[in-house]
Amino acid sequence: MTRPHVAVVGAYGSAGVAAAEELVDEDVELTLIDDGEPGGGLCILRGCMPSKEVLSAGAHKYQARHDHRLDGAAPEVDLESVVETKDDHVLGFAEHRRGAVHEMAERDNVTFHHDTARFVDDHTLEVGGERIEADYVVLGTGSKLNVPTLPGLEAVDWMGSRDVLDATEFPDSGVVMGFGYVGVELVPYLSEAAEMDLTVIEHDDRPLDEKHPAFGEEILDQYREEFGVDIRTEVYEEEVEATEDGGVRLHLTDGSSVEGDQLFLFTGREPSFPAGIEETRLDPRRDWVRNTMQAVDDDRVFVVGDATGEDTLLHNAKEEGYAAGRNVIAAERGEPLETYEPMTHEVMFSGLGVFPFASLGMTETEAREAGHEVVTAQRDASSDGVFKTKDVARGTARLVVDADDGTVLGYHGIHYHADAMAKTMQVVLDAEMDVREIPDRAFHPTTPEILDGLFSDTAAQL
């Protein structure tokens, strides 16, 4: 019996390499394809890893500037050193990823093509002039910047997140389009590290509008008060034009306009696919991928990572890749396929990562829509003395608990160390723990005391 042929397109990425790792020891012919240069995947090269590198430099300056107990001028951020250090670290991370892929390619059943793939049929790819006919295709082809359709945009120079992460100098002022995850993370970097005067356009009345209002309001207050950012809410972009001095003028739907030396597009990302996808049955759109990671239009194509258009986070991408690899084998054997239904687990490094936002599990609204009666509690960081002693007494946290059996359903917080507490709360939620049975014993004085407060407050309501 001929062993199945599986092609993984996007093999350097987090999702693609995960699928490959799941398949490499199986009885399959495995073809790995990626044209990345130097290769390593979006998160390592242009996403979560390099962004945290540059944010950390801004965070050190912010904390030194903000702490009234320190005397003297705040240090300047050496942007050339920031970028050089970032590049050095990131290239090391990427080299490790490439090494893992190339090591797999040494197997007798594995072939690696460092080239661009193009669809010529449902499961047939053209790579470097060679046709590869696969039984199954795994698409882990990532995403690209979503460039909005806006009159005048083609006539002005703009910078995306990739440009910001590589820049060693910036002008005095800027206008920001997009205040989602990327904008919330990079705006304070531009303000603090690059010392830019910024105007941000927010379409809704606050960012994070799908979460409890307390979190979006905290970002608005914090960015205006701590970083001096002008945030225009409940307004849309109408047209952009170049100014005579080489800057940009952005016209808004409320009749006003804003100007700056530089336009920044932090307008989200959209899935990226191989050329020729129109030659297949695939119709990429919202909800075009099943929870088995199979494409709705073709059971033999598995889509993972950013290419799905949903939950574009590293840990989701890896888990999707592993699930897709296992499901390829299950499909070939005629066995039931597993479903991937992850718990929400998001971390946004807002406030330069000094005041990150973590969101795990269900919000109060989502819990009620799912049929739960709930009790909730909210605690401000300022209510726990340890945050004051560390001079980070900003932010708040909320806990959502099932009112009938005490099961913890969700934790959401924007405060110092919220990112580190996310793992603890993941364990609590995954184990479906009763809030009344969680030990109330954070070491005093440490920042997890805010969790103890939430546990005791909701337990008391039960």
Contact indicator for 33, 17 with CB cutoff of 8 Å: no
pLDDT at 314 over 90: no
Does residue 350 belong to any structural domain of this protein?
no
Residues 262 and 159 in one domain: yes
Contact indicator for 187, 196 with CB cutoff of 8 Å: no
The pair phi, psi for residue 196, each rounded to 5°, is -95, 150
Contact indicator for 257, 250 with CB cutoff of 8 Å: yes
Residues 428 and 304 in one domain: no
Residues 74 and 37 in one domain: yes
Residues 242 and 279 in one domain: no
Residues 183 and 293 in one domain: no
Nearest to 54 by CA among 352, 358, 392, 355: 352
pLDDT range class, residue 56, cuts 50, 70, 90: very high
Domain boundary, last residue among 240, 267, 294: 267
Domain boundary, last residue among 238, 267, 296: 267
What local confidence, expressed as pLDDT, does residue 442 receive? 80
Mean pLDDT value across the chain: 95
243: which residues sit within 8 A by CB, 6+ positions away? 249, 259
What local confidence, expressed as pLDDT, does residue 248 receive? 98
Residues 404 and 326 in one domain: no
d(CA 283, CA 301): 12
Residues 125 and 10 in one domain: yes
pLDDT at 352 over 90: yes
How far CA 334 is from CA of 244, 254, 294, 329, 416, in Å, comes to 66, 58, 15, 9, 49
In the chain, the largest separation of any two C-alpha atoms, in whole Å, equals 76
CATH code for the domain in which residue 395 is found: 3.30.390.30
How many structural domains are present in the chain? 3
Nearest to 235 by CA among 275, 284, 276, 202: 202
pLDDT range class, residue 443, cuts 50, 70, 90: confident
Residues 135 and 158 in one domain: no
pLDDT at 286 over 90: no
CB neighbours of residue 148 within 10 Å: 13
Residues 248 and 363 in one domain: no
Residues 28 and 131 in one domain: yes
Give 241-264 pLDDT, tens digit per residue. 999 999 999 999 999 999 999 999
Does residue 212 belong to any structural domain of this protein?
yes
Quote the domain boundaries for residue 445: 355-461
Does residue 346 belong to any structural domain of this protein?
no
Does residue 178 belong to any structural domain of this protein?
yes
Domain boundary, last residue among 267, 287, 320: 267
What local confidence, expressed as pLDDT, does residue 74 receive? 86
Give 88-134 pLDDT, tens digit per residue. 999 999 899 999 999 999 999 999 999 999 999 999 999 999 999 99
Does residue 244 belong to any structural domain of this protein?
yes
d(CA 21, CA 331): 17
Give 214-228 pLDDT, tens digit per residue. 999 999 999 999 999
Does residue 344 belong to any structural domain of this protein?
no
**Total-model pTM:** 0.94
CATH code for the domain in which residue 253 is found: 3.50.50.60
Residues 135 and 232 in one domain: no
pLDDT at 312 over 80: no
pLDDT at 39 over 90: no
Residues 301 and 187 in one domain: no
Residue with tokens 């083609």: 154
Does residue 341 belong to any structural domain of this protein?
no
pLDDT at 325 over 90: yes
Does residue 9 belong to any structural domain of this protein?
yes
pLDDT at 311 over 80: no
What local confidence, expressed as pLDDT, does residue 185 receive? 97
> What does the buried/exposed string (b/e) look like for 179-198 if buried means 16 or more CB atoms within 10 Å of the residue's CB?
bebbbbbbbbbbbbbbebeb
pLDDT range class, residue 313, cuts 50, 70, 90: confident
